[in-house]
Amino acid sequence: MTDTNQFFDKKLIILLILNESNNALSLEQIVKMCSDFESITYFDVCEYIDVLKRTNHIAETIENSTSYYSLTEAGFSTLNELLELVPRYKHTYN
């Protein structure tokens, strides 16, 4: 797998985590959920969040000096389109 594909796949994990959450999540919460994936570090999560914010796939809100992240409509749409390509998730998020 190329570095570009791994980067893409790991951003998809962030979108999936945010989709599965009922609430916006802090960076620390996202990092904790990503800890199950040995190849994703704290710094990776920070980079993925930055890219996803710049591409309008996630939104950031700040409460009591803590940033929280949630999916935007574009992020939700992108996630659904990509999950359609994965047989296990087909029709789960429609």
Q: Which domains does the chain have, with CATH numbers?
A: 3-89 (1.10.10.10)
Q: Please indicate whether residue 77 or residue 39 has the higher confidence score (pLDDT).
A: 77
As a whole number of angstroms, the distance between CA 47 and CA 13 comes to 13
Rounded to 10 deg, the angle between the 42-54 and 3-20 helix axes is: 80
Question: pLDDT band at 94, cuts 50/70/90?
Answer: very low
Number of H helices, E strands in the chain: 4, 3
> Residues 14-49: pLDDT tens digits?
999 999 998 999 999 999 998 887 788 999 999 999
Question: Residue 85 pLDDT more than 80?
Answer: no
CB 43, CB 16: distance < 8 Å:
no
Q: Which residues lie closer than 8 Å to 44 by C-beta, 6 or more apart?
A: 10, 34
pTM here is 0.80
